[in-house]
Chain A
Amino acid sequence: MNSIILTAVWGVVMMLSGAFIRNKQTPKFLAIIGLSLISVLHIRELITKKSLIQVDVHNMVTFDYFNLTFIAIVLSCTLIYFLLSASEVEKVGPHVAEYFALIFFVLCGVSLAASFNTLLMLFIGIEIMSIPLYILTGSDKRNLKSNEAALKYFLMGAFSTGIMLLGIAFLYGGSPNASFFIDNLQIGGGRLSVLTALGLVFLLISISFKVSAAPFHFWTPDVYDGAPTVFTSFMSTIVKVAGFFAFIRLFQNAFGIVQDQWQSLIAFITVATLLIGNITAVFQQSVKRMLAYSSIAQAGFMLLAIFALNAKAKEGILLYAAAYSLATIGFFAILMKLEDYTIEGFNGLSKKQPVLAFAATVFLLSLTGIPLTAGFQSKFFMLMAAIENGHHLWLPIVAVLFAAVSAYYYFRVIQAMYFKEPSQADGHPIVATPLFKMVLLFTVLLILIIGVYPEILIGWMYR
């Protein structure tokens, strides 16, 4: 409960601060202080299970250890994102305070979407999460690509919103006791009614759109490529895993009972997502665009959790959220330090900036899923969930084959950093402050800790 209210309040504070403070530095510190405060209060809530502010919500949102842990992961990852990239936010445009305010509103949406108990709260949560993103995508106002991306994102997002509302309406109509509560839809184990089935499929489509699962992924590369890199980093990590969390929560609580009826559909979407994400990423020359496709590919792996819907899947989604967000945020932070976003831009980075190259290597190894990194544990749990589920056993095999494909494009960057000579000696020197390097190494440490001892995260679920 803390996180929903406090992020919204702090968003307003940030926005007002923009009106009163002209100094460009101040919003950054305000944001970091605010988020640290919210994280601390949230973790206190996670430990004591008591919220600072108690509001009677008529059971419209509920908090259990599962979603509290998830929100804690999201807040911590965002904090690391702020520490690494907040100074990049300042470079986007003049309205620094507003950008931070929008990010806080996104976090409020994330908290809602992670804890919804009725379809209405799901809708509100997803919308609060999305609308600030449309603005952030277009925040580089003079850049045509950014404008195009924002428009594209907004139009496609509006469509998916419509489809989601339609799905909710169908479900409401199809529910025998006309309820919005997801555990009270009374779908029953038998054959689905037409209305319920339509509602399910529409919701599936709209959330697939939000998490950029194929074949609803077409907006992703352009939007991720066009948006200012610092916001791409945020969008492709925190927001995406939040979408997945809402996805798994909805399907587990509302449609878990009819899993056998939609499972093949998810299996199809998973394979399509893995295929398109991985194969297209192989051909990218721009690292930023490669990361956009790789985020689609990673979404394919996260879909295995929806496919399986068991205890391992829940553990897996927590690990994946942390592993994927940390590695991608860290890697984007390094990418933003470079002038050249092509793979050649990474040539010889190990000579120029050994710490950055080392950190980037760990992040890429984690994204590939090499043991000792968090990325391995997350993929491991996802595979375990899918195999434990017992149906469609070919699916995990397909997934690991694509994981091997992903090694190709992630390792290309490692090869460029370590085994190629820098293209030219001149060019802009890469500026990395000691603080930046320390946060980067701290992120690396977190990835290794989760990789060796994942129960540091999933243990929270079982208290």
Chain B
Amino acid sequence: MGTYITFPELFILLPLLGGIIAFFVSSGPAAKRMALFVSVLVWAIFVVALFYTDRTKYIAYNNVNYLWLKYLGSNYYVGLDAMGRMLVGLTATAFPLIFIATAKNNVSHPKSFYGLMLLSQAGLMGVFCAFDALTFYFFWELALIPVYFLCSKWGGEKRIQATFKFFVYTFVGSLLMLIGIIYVYLHTEPRTIEGGITAVHSFTVGSFYNVALTAMEQKWLFVLFFVAFAIKMPIFPFHTWQPDAYDQSPTPVTMIMSGIMVKMGLFGVVRWLIPVLPLATKQFASIAIILSIIGIVYASCLAMVQDNIKRLVAYSSIAHIGLMCASIFALNPTSVQGAMIQMFTHGINIIGLWIVVELIERQTGIKNISALGGLAQKAPTLTILLVIVAFANIALPLTNAFPGEFMMLSGLYEVKTWYAIAAGLGVILSAVYTLNMIQKVFYGHTNDLTQTVKDIAWNEKLALIIIVAFVFVLGIYPQLMIELTKESVAYLLTTMR
């Protein structure tokens, strides 16, 4: 416990306070400016925090642990470990990008909009920082509520149904997880606390990792936890909420959902599932991998036949997440490391894709691939930037997705050859649908709809250039990401022995 305010607290509290204040500021533009300011501030603090990662020297800056509920044994315990830091970094980077890219959009009720956006950032930060299962569950749900309101209020035509479907799916998942958490909690080592009742169990991650559960208990607990995380990712067959939700949400929120929220599922698997239930993981890993691979192939096939550009990106996202999930469950050092890199890069790249999609939709009013064409003539800068991001989506060498996908596939290959072959099919198919989309939308002849399209404005250009910078820097020098996350990979694999 430090006497100073720690980094994880800042990451959670700043957006939280900013979000609450945003509801009460004088005007809409002020709320917009404040949201941008807070998110950039959080990002700057994150960059500073990168210099204080040394576990031995700076532990007091990165961890905070208060007793929260005495009789329950729950602590408000937040901190940063390697993977948490990477995902906090993703959140901290994504929000300014989202705010910059959508700076010129005019939303109705901007105060509530930006307030809710910041609140969702606070929730996500909390999820990635929590080291106490109850704290984790709190933030897990709290990240959902602002997103629910954002989508239902500012989304497309069928937003209410689509969002509610999304909400119910994730709510069922998280309640099942809650039962799992309670069960594990009740089997943690009881300890005596002063002044009153004895035998208080604990929610901290350490006691969860040391819990003694029989193989049978682990099995059904695995199901409870896995369903919750699989819905969030989403993994086949729990994915049906996703295309509807992405299609109907306002683009900034879709960016949050596809860039960051889906990582909550992967994160949950790495921190709260595999180390807590190692026996069941060994047994069920192959099933999880097979489900993920089915998802990859299935979603890629669906993406190929989509005419709706938003749904195309949504399905492509399912395929990518499936590959990451399969690689984590492969429990091979290379593939897990690859998934760690890819969690970050996928989050950045997909925001780039959404920026373009949003631009097209806003300018032409449609999202059907077949009705578009010839955008390259009208918007050359946009096309160049998009093609780079799209290449990253296909994981071409020198783009940031390449090292990750390569490591994931080679790791899967080491585990079972056909896993890698089937998953590799997804990569090939992603080239098919992505290039097909570019060809139809950007090349060919212009038509009435695309005649009036203008090239991108400075704010979108700025956001896309930052993303392209990430694409190249991490593509050429992936070691940065590996250094940041290798500790978590090593730790995850030791828990399995």
B414 is an interface residue with CB less than 8 A from chain A = no
A415 x B164 contact (CB < 8 A): yes
In the bound complex, CA of A138 to CA of B138 (Å): 44
A404 x B175 contact (CB < 8 A): yes
Q: Number of contacts between A and B (CB, 8 Å)?
A: 71
Residues of the B chain whose Cβ atoms lie less than 8 Å from the Cβ of A419: 152-153, 159-160
B69 x A453 contact (CB < 8 A): yes
A387 x B182 contact (CB < 8 A): yes
CB distance from A306 to the nearest CB of B (A): 19
Please tell me which stretch of A7-15, A45-53, A395-403 contacts chain B, meaning at least 4 of its Cβ atoms lie within 8 angstroms of it.
A395-403
A411 x B179 contact (CB < 8 A): no
A380 is an interface residue with CB less than 8 A from chain B = yes
Q: Which B residue sits closest to A361, measured CB to CB?
A: B149
Mask, A403-423, CB within 8 Å of B = 1, is 110011001000100110000
In the bound complex, CA of A125 to CA of B172 (Å): 40
A403 x B175 contact (CB < 8 A): yes
Q: Which of B168, B185, B196 makes the CB contact (< 8 A) with A408? A: B168
B179 x A396 contact (CB < 8 A): yes
B71 is an interface residue with CB less than 8 A from chain A = yes
In the bound complex, CA of A158 to CA of B179 (Å): 40
Of A380, A404, A454, A455, which is in contact with the most chain B CB atoms at under 10 Å from its CB?
A404
A370 is an interface residue with CB less than 8 A from chain B = yes
Q: Which of A400, A408, A418, A458 makes the CB contact (< 8 A) with B179? A: A400
Q: Which of B138, B167, B178 makes the CB contact (< 8 A) with A383? A: B178
A169 is an interface residue with CB less than 8 A from chain B = no
Residues of the A chain whose Cβ atoms lie less than 8 Å from the Cβ of B72: 455
Given contacts A372-B142, A396-B179, contact A418 B186 (CB under 8 A): no
Given contacts A371-B138, A453-B69, contact A411 B196 (CB under 8 A): no
In the bound complex, CA of A315 to CA of B178 (Å): 18
Mask, B64-94, CB within 8 Å of A = 1, is 0000111110000000000000000000000
A188 is an interface residue with CB less than 8 A from chain B = no
A384 x B182 contact (CB < 8 A): yes
B178 x A454 contact (CB < 8 A): no
B145 is an interface residue with CB less than 8 A from chain A = yes
In the bound complex, CA of A76 to CA of B177 (Å): 34
Given contacts A418-B153, A419-B152, contact A365 B171 (CB under 8 A): no
A400 x B160 contact (CB < 8 A): no
B153 x A404 contact (CB < 8 A): no
A462 is an interface residue with CB less than 8 A from chain B = yes
Interface bracket on A: 20 to 34
CB distance from A240 to the nearest CB of B (A): 24
A459 is an interface residue with CB less than 8 A from chain B = yes
Residues of the A chain whose Cβ atoms lie less than 8 Å from the Cβ of B176: 397, 400
Q: Which B residue sits closest to A418, measured CB to CB?
A: B153
Residues of the B chain whose Cβ atoms lie less than 8 Å from the Cβ of A340: none
B179 x A459 contact (CB < 8 A): no
Q: Which A residue sits closest to B139, measured CB to CB?
A: A371
B164 x A411 contact (CB < 8 A): yes
CB distance from A307 to the nearest CB of B (A): 15
Q: Which B residue sits closest to A405, measured CB to CB?
A: B168
Given contacts A455-B69, A455-B71, A458-B71, contact A370 B179 (CB under 8 A): no
Q: Which B residue sits closest to A387, measured CB to CB?
A: B182
Mask, B138-165, CB within 8 Å of A = 1, is 1001100100010011000001100010
B149 x A418 contact (CB < 8 A): yes
In the bound complex, CA of A387 to CA of B201 (Å): 14
Given contacts A371-B138, A383-B182, A387-B179, contact A404 B71 (CB under 8 A): no
B137 x A387 contact (CB < 8 A): no
Residues of the A chain whose Cβ atoms lie less than 8 Å from the Cβ of B491: none
CB distance from A315 to the nearest CB of B (A): 8
- Complex interface residues of chain A between 399 and 458 (CB less than 8 A to chain B): 400-401, 403-404, 407-408, 411, 415, 418-419, 453-455, 458
Q: Which B residue sits closest to A390, measured CB to CB?
A: B186
Residues of the B chain whose Cβ atoms lie less than 8 Å from the Cβ of A411: 164, 167
In the bound complex, CA of A371 to CA of B197 (Å): 26
In the bound complex, CA of A418 to CA of B178 (Å): 29
B183 is an interface residue with CB less than 8 A from chain A = yes
In the bound complex, CA of A372 to CA of B139 (Å): 9
CB distance from A313 to the nearest CB of B (A): 13
CB distance from A416 to the nearest CB of B (A): 10
In the bound complex, CA of A365 to CA of B171 (Å): 12
CB distance from A3 to the nearest CB of B (A): 26
B168 x A397 contact (CB < 8 A): no
Residues of the B chain whose Cβ atoms lie less than 8 Å from the Cβ of A403: 175
In the bound complex, CA of A419 to CA of B145 (Å): 15
A370 x B168 contact (CB < 8 A): no
A455 x B137 contact (CB < 8 A): no
A400 x B178 contact (CB < 8 A): yes
In the bound complex, CA of A371 to CA of B72 (Å): 16
In the bound complex, CA of A371 to CA of B160 (Å): 22
A260 is an interface residue with CB less than 8 A from chain B = no
Of B141, B175, B179, which is in contact with the most chain A CB atoms at under 10 Å from its CB?
B175
B197 x A462 contact (CB < 8 A): yes
Given contacts A365-B145, A400-B178, A400-B179, contact A455 B70 (CB under 8 A): yes
Q: Which B residue sits closest to A419, measured CB to CB?
A: B152
Q: Which of B137, B138, B179, B196 makes the CB contact (< 8 A) with A397? A: B179
In the bound complex, CA of A311 to CA of B141 (Å): 27
Residues of the B chain whose Cβ atoms lie less than 8 Å from the Cβ of A370: 141, 145
A339 is an interface residue with CB less than 8 A from chain B = no
A404 x B145 contact (CB < 8 A): no
Q: Which residues of B contact A (CB under 8 A)?
A: 68-72, 137-138, 141-142, 145, 149, 152-153, 159-160, 164, 167-168, 171-172, 175-176, 178-179, 182-183, 185-186, 196-197
Q: Which residues of A contact B (CB under 8 A)?
A: 311, 315, 365, 370-372, 376, 380, 383-384, 387-388, 396-397, 400-401, 403-404, 407-408, 411, 415, 418-419, 453-455, 458-459, 462
Pairs of residues from A and B, 9 with the lowest C-beta to C-beta distance, nearest first = A400-B175, A371-B141, A404-B172, A371-B138, A387-B182, A384-B182, A462-B196, A419-B152, A404-B171
Q: Other than the known A400-B179, A419-B159, what 19 A-B pairs have Cβ atoms closer than 8 Å?
A: A311-B197, A371-B138, A372-B138, A383-B182, A384-B186, A387-B179, A397-B179, A400-B172, A401-B175, A404-B171, A407-B168, A407-B171, A415-B164, A418-B152, A418-B153, A453-B69, A455-B70, A455-B72, A459-B71
| CB-defined A-B contacts under 8 Å, sample of 28 | A311-B197, A365-B145, A371-B137, A371-B138, A371-B141, A372-B138, A383-B178, A384-B182, A384-B186, A387-B179, A387-B182, A387-B183, A400-B175, A400-B176, A400-B179, A401-B172, A404-B168, A407-B168, A408-B168, A411-B167, A418-B152, A418-B153, A419-B152, A453-B68, A455-B69, A455-B71, A459-B70, A462-B196
